[in-house]
Chain A
C-alpha cells in the first residue's frame, strides 16, 4: 500500500484543536468530572471498607488506573462518535479532501487528535491526583504519564477509527463501547489487582490494551517501574499493528479503493 501522507495531516489536527479550544471548558468539565466522581466516589466510598490494597490506600491504588481509563475513553469517543459525526453528518472529510490534503492525511490527523485528547484527559486527572494529594509523594516517573497516555491514545484512536469505518450507523458504536471498552474498564485492574483473578482470566486480561495502560500508569505515578518497558513496548507494538488499518478501511469506505 502506498501511503499518501505528508506533514499536511497536522492541519487536520489543527482544525480539530481549534474546535477543542472553542469548547475547552465543556471538554475539561466533561473530561474531568466523571473520572473524578469515580475517584472520590469509589475511592472514599469503597475506601471506607477496603482500607488498603497492595499496601496502598484504596484511592491511591485506583487513581492511576483512572488516568488510563479516562485516556481510553477520550481517544475512543473522539475516534468513534467524533470522527463519525465529522465524516458522515458534517461531511468535513469531503470538504478537506477537496483541497490538497489527502484522505490518508485526514485519517492521520483524526488519529493524532484522538490521541491528543487522551493525553489531555490523562494529564488533567494526573494534575488532580497531585493537587488533592491522592497518592503518597511525588515521583519524577509521573512525568512520563502523558507520553504513556499518547501511546495508549494511539491504540484506542486506531481501534475506534477502525470501528468507525465499519459501522453501518452511529448507534452501532454502543456495541463496541459496551462490549469491548466497558469490560476492559472493569477487568483491567483499576479497582482490584488482576493477580487476584483466576489464571485464565489473567491471560485474557494480558491481551487487553487497558490492562497494560493501567499498570504502566500505576507504576509511573507510584514510582515503582517494574513492567514499564514491557507495557510501553506492548502498547507500541499494538499501536503499530493497528494504525495502518483506519487508513485502509477509510479508503475502502469513502473512495472505494
Chain B
C-alpha cells in the first residue's frame, strides 16, 4: 500500500468557541488532484493551513507525506509547495529574485536555484519578466509566479488556496493548464475553490465542506449523479407561483433561490415537456433547461445549509 499524501483522522480545529474544522476524516492519494469546495468560512482554508503547518491542530491526527504534522512540520515543509490565497510575493524584489531568495529558505544552493528558477519561469511563461519588479506584474502573472515559487523545492505535493480567485477568464485557463501539466508529472495537488467549473476542470476527487464538516466526497461526475440527477430546469418567476410550478413538476427535487426555482429532472425530454406545460399556465420571466453540474450539487448541499442560517 502506498502512503497517503494526506491522512486526517478526527482532525479538529477550534478557535475559541468556533469549531472551524470538525472531526474531519480524509485520505488524499499521491498523484491525485483533490479539491475542497464550500462556502466562505466552511473550514477549507483552515484545513489547508493545518496541512501546511500555518495553524496548530486542536485535536485529531494528521499525517502529510507519511510524516506527523505536529512533530515533523519542518520536514513536511521541505517537501511541499504552498500557493496561498493572498499573493505574498516579495515586493522588494524582481521576479527572478523572488525565486532565488525563496530557494535560499529551502537551503537550495545558488547555482542550483538559478537553474531551477530559469526552468520554472519558462514553465509559467514569465521568462521575459525575469528582471521586472513584481509590483509591475498583472494579477495572473503574479499568481503564476507564486505557483513557480511554490515549486522551487520540487515538491511532491502542491497546496493551492483558491488558485484562480480574482483572475480574468484567460488568466484562469493559463493557471489551470499549468496545474494539469503538474498533475501529469505526478505532483499531488490539493486545492480549495468556490468555483465549481474549476473543481470540475481539475479535480479527480473533491469534498464539499460546510461548517467544518464534509457533506459529500467523490469524483465530480459521481457527485452530480448522486446529488443532482442528470437534468435541471431553471425557472425565473414570481415566488408566489413557485408552489404551482412545483405541483406541475410532480414535486421533483428542487431548490429555491430568490425568484429562481431549479427543478431536477430525469432527462432533457422531461425538462422540455415541463417547460411547455408551465409556459402556458404561469407567468415565467425566463427559463433554461440544462445538464446538471457541480454547481447544482453545491446548491443542494451547501446552499441549503446556508439558507438555514
Contact = CB atoms under 8 A, between A and B. Distances in A.
Interface of A: 8, 11, 14-15, 18-19, 22, 90-92, 94-102, 255-257
B88 A255 contact: no
Which of B52, B53, B77, B92 neighbours the largest number of chain A CB atoms within 10 Å of its CB?
B92
A100 B74 contact: yes
Contact of B102 (A99, A102, A257): A99
Contacts of B75: 100
Interface residues of B, number: 27
A100 B55 contact: no
B102 A95 contact: yes
Q: Name B's interface SS.
A: loop
A90 B88 contact: yes
B105 A101 contact: yes
Which of A15, A90, A256 neighbours the largest number of chain B CB atoms within 10 Å of its CB?
A15
B61 to A, nearest CB: 18
B267 interface: no
B77 A90 contact: no
B101 interface: yes
A254 to B, nearest CB: 9
A114 B102 CA distance: 21
A96 B82 CA distance: 11
Nearest to A92: B90
Nearest to A11: B104
Contacts of A94: 54, 84, 86, 88
B107 interface: yes
A150 to B, nearest CB: 24
Given A11-B104, A255-B56, A99 B88 contact: no
A256 to B, nearest CB: 7
Interface of B: 15, 52-56, 74-75, 77-78, 82, 84, 86, 88-93, 97, 101-102, 104-107, 153
B19 to A, nearest CB: 15
A100 B77 contact: yes
A95 B104 contact: no
Contacts of B105: 8, 11, 96, 99-101
A99 B106 contact: yes
Contacts of B97: 18
The 7 lowest CB-CB distance pairs between A and B, nearest first, are A91-B88, A99-B105, A98-B82, A95-B88, A19-B92, A100-B78, A100-B77
A24 B89 CA distance: 22
Nearest to B98: A95
Contact of B104 (A14, A90, A92, A257): A14
Contacts of A95: 84, 88-90, 102
Contacts of B93: 18-19
27 contacts: A8-B105, A15-B104, A18-B93, A18-B97, A18-B101, A19-B92, A19-B93, A22-B92, A90-B88, A91-B84, A91-B88, A92-B88, A94-B54, A95-B88, A95-B89, A96-B105, A97-B53, A98-B52, A99-B78, A99-B102, A99-B105, A100-B74, A100-B75, A100-B77, A255-B54, A255-B56, A256-B15
Contacts of B102: 95, 99
Nearest to B91: A90
Given A94-B86, A98-B52, A101-B105, 13 more contacts: A11-B104, A18-B101, A19-B93, A22-B92, A90-B91, A90-B92, A98-B53, A98-B77, A98-B84, A99-B106, A255-B55, A256-B15, A257-B56
Contacts of B90: 15, 90, 92, 95
Contacts of B53: 97-98
A8 B74 CA distance: 12
B85 to A, nearest CB: 10
Contacts of A102: 74
Contacts of A255: 54-56
A256 B54 contact: no
A96 B77 CA distance: 11
A102 B105 CA distance: 10
Nearest to B79: A100
Contacts of A257: 56
A91 B107 CA distance: 21
Contacts of A14: 104
B77 A99 contact: yes
A189 B82 CA distance: 51
Nearest to A101: B105
Contacts of B101: 15, 18
B226 to A, nearest CB: 35
Given A18-B101, A102-B74, A256-B15, A97 B91 contact: no
A102 B240 CA distance: 59
B86 A98 contact: no
